[in-house]
Amino acid sequence: MSTPPTDDTHADSPLVPPPGCPAHALGADGRRRLYGPEADADPMALYEQLRKEHGSVAPVLLHGDVPAWLVLGHRENEEVARTPSRFSRDSRRWLELQQGRVPLDSPLLPIVAWQPMCSFVDGAEHQRLRAAVTQSMERFDGRGIRRYVNRFANQLVDTFCSDGHADLVTQFAGHLPMLVMTQVLGMSDDYGPRLVEAAQDMMKGSETAIASNDYLVKTLRELVARKRAEPGNDFASWLIGNSAALTDDEALEHLRLVLIAGYSTTANLIVNTLRMVLTDRRFRASLAGLQMTIPDALEQSLWDAPPFTTVYGRWATGDTELGGQHIRGGDMLVLCLAGGNVDPAVRPDLSVPMYGNRSHLAFSRGPHECPGQDLGRAIADTGIDALLTRLPDLTLAVDEDELSWTPTLLSRNLAALPVTFTPRKPAHAESLAQPAPVPAQAATRAEMPPAAPSIPPPPQHAPRLRTPWWRAPARWLRGR
Ligand code: HEM
């Protein structure tokens, strides 16, 4: 079993290159490492280096110097994701794991260790589990969801709008998807800072990830028990009651999957899109001229900064060829969604906008393609619209170069997005002076939930006349 290098090793041995030396990025066999300071500092540069050296499929080393293949080509990513007969989702096939070469403390294990859920199985079992998820999702009313995304977004803006400054990561994007997801799942009473922290912590693969996972599992186990005893009008109840007859463990794992997959990615999409809008001249010009809409901006962001940069993984079902490389049965493949999205074969000129083109890899492809993409888009689009409508003169409070990123195994997250704006009164105060119209369709209790505990109480109705989302950028730019 190989041991990952530590900083102590570097300090003790004169043979080990000093920090910052490019030799850190290479393993003993000359393969590049997909982890470590160099990879964390600029993963996109690493992907391009690997593409230059190896083409569309590159040999790499994962944590603990475990070998794997990084799929960089757009076409090759599609091929892998769409061909489960050659590239399985079942991590029990992983030769390195079977032969004990993956360190027991590897941060990969929480992500790749097999669990009884749809993202680890193929074929008929995958269809059974995935159908339980998708059928439960189809029961949501899309309009109802947008209504309470708008409501939660406005509540969040209320908490900082009179300050004239905010961090959109910790005060907006880090909360909005969790507020919505806990509502959708039927666990709004569980929403709170501890749940947000636990979900973030698990994605970071930090030392406290196990404790965070335990907290999440305990919360979800209680939810399953509650909903079995007293079903409601929510995703958890529909999932449990689905004809797939999930066991308690299967229900719990799928609730965890939906909560984590849906929360972190959507938070990332909101932040990445806001960053682009606040920093990129092209975006501002296109939004100002109404050549671009908020959904267009989201899609461009899904091309340039997909919330999951990589998906670990797929496992070869037998010896095969891909991108000119010989892949052995049991080898692991990492889908590099961020690399595939900038493959020169599909995007020879990265400055050309991709408006209206949804063929990016951000939601992957094939039988495992993200089933929550419409919900993710709806939360991001409605939330950003609400924010820009309330605070039309948002400006980045620091130089773009000062923004920093926190790398995780699967993504790259902005640490903070500080902004300034003209201070304004909270909307619930304004709504007293200017009553909002009653929603066209009476909302059910599931659609219009009670306020989350840590957020000020919302107005009785929507705080403002809802204008079309495509007007928001124009108003925002006029306000500058
Ligand atoms: C912008 C937001 C989102 C992005 C970028 C995203 C991206 C992805 C990606 C890349 C995968 C992996 C597919 C593969 O293995 O090839 C995935 C799977 C999945 N996502 Fe999402 N996701 C988002 C939001 C959501 C939401 C809101 C939900 C739930 C409400 C959700 C639920 C799932 C589930 C259940 C899977 C596993 C599907 C399967 O294995 O069959 N995702 N997502």
The DSSP secondary structure of 87-122, one letter per residue, reads: EES-GGG-HHHHTT-S-TT-TTHHHHS--SSGGG--
**What separation in Å is there between the alpha carbon of 304 and the centre of ligand 1?**
18
Tokens of 228: 């079995």
Residue 317: what residue type?
T
Give tens-digit pLDDT for 77-122: 999 999 999 999 999 999 999 999 998 878 888 789 999 999 999 9
pLDDT at 348: 96
Question: Which range has the worst mean pLDDT, 127-136, 157-166, 167-176, 187-196?
Answer: 187-196
**What separation in Å is there between the alpha carbon of 378 and the centre of ligand 1?**
14
The dihedral region occupied by 90, where left means phi > 0, alpha psi between -120 and 50, and beta the remainder, is beta
**Measuring CA to CA, which residue among 245, 225, 302, 248 is closest to residue 270?**
302
Answer whether residue 126 shows pLDDT above 60. yes
**What separation in Å is there between the alpha carbon of 27 and the centre of ligand 1?**
32
Are 184 and 149 spatial neighbours (Cβ–Cβ below 8 Å)? no
- List CB contacts of 15: < 8 A, sequence separation 6 or more: none
**N- to C-terminal Cα separation, the chain:** 58
pLDDT at 144: 85
Residue 439: phi and psi, rounded to 5, are: -55, 145
Are 393 and 479 spatial neighbours (Cβ–Cβ below 8 Å)? yes
In 280-343, which residue ranges form alpha helices assigned H by DSSP?
A: 281-288, 294-304, 337-341
- Block residue for tokens 């209206």: 356
Dist. CA 331–CA 62, nearest whole Å? 12
pLDDT greater at residue 211 or residue 206: 211
Answer whether residue 165 shows pLDDT above 50. yes
Share of the chain above pLDDT 70, in %: 81
Torsion of CA 304, 310, 315, 316, to 10 degrees: 30
pLDDT at 103: 86
Extract the runs of DSSP E, i.e. beta strands, from 296-421: 310-316, 320-322, 325-327, 332-336, 395-396, 405-407, 412-414, 418-420
Which ligand 1 atom is nearest residue 366's CA? 16
Are 172 and 155 spatial neighbours (Cβ–Cβ below 8 Å)? no
Answer whether residue 236 shows pLDDT above 60. yes
Answer whether residue 466 shows pLDDT above 50. no
Q: Which of 184, 311, 370, 382 to mutate to test the pocket of ligand 1 (most atoms within 8 A of CB)?
A: 370
Give tens-digit pLDDT for 302-319: 999 999 999 999 999 999
Which ligand 1 atom is nearest residue 126's CA? 41
Q: What residues flank ligand 1, with Cβ below 6 Å?
A: 81, 118-119, 130, 133, 257-258, 261-262, 265-266, 269, 307-308, 311, 362-364, 368, 370-373, 375-376
Confidence band of 441 (pLDDT split at 50, 70, 90): very low
Confidence band of 449 (pLDDT split at 50, 70, 90): very low
Domains, the chain, ordered by start = 123-309+366-478 (1.10.630.10)
**What separation in Å is there between the alpha carbon of 225 and the centre of ligand 1?**
25
Dist. CA 314–CA 49, nearest whole Å? 23
Looking at mean pLDDT, say which of 158-172, 186-200, 350-364, 382-396 comes out highest: 158-172
pLDDT greater at residue 2 or residue 144: 144
For residues 404-422, one letter each, b for 16 or more C-beta atoms within 10 angstroms of the residue's C-beta and e for the rest, the string is eeebbbbbbbbebbbbbbe
Mean pLDDT of 469-473: 27
- Rounded to the nearest angstrom, the gap between the alpha carbon of residue 7 and the centroid of all alpha carbons in its chain is 30
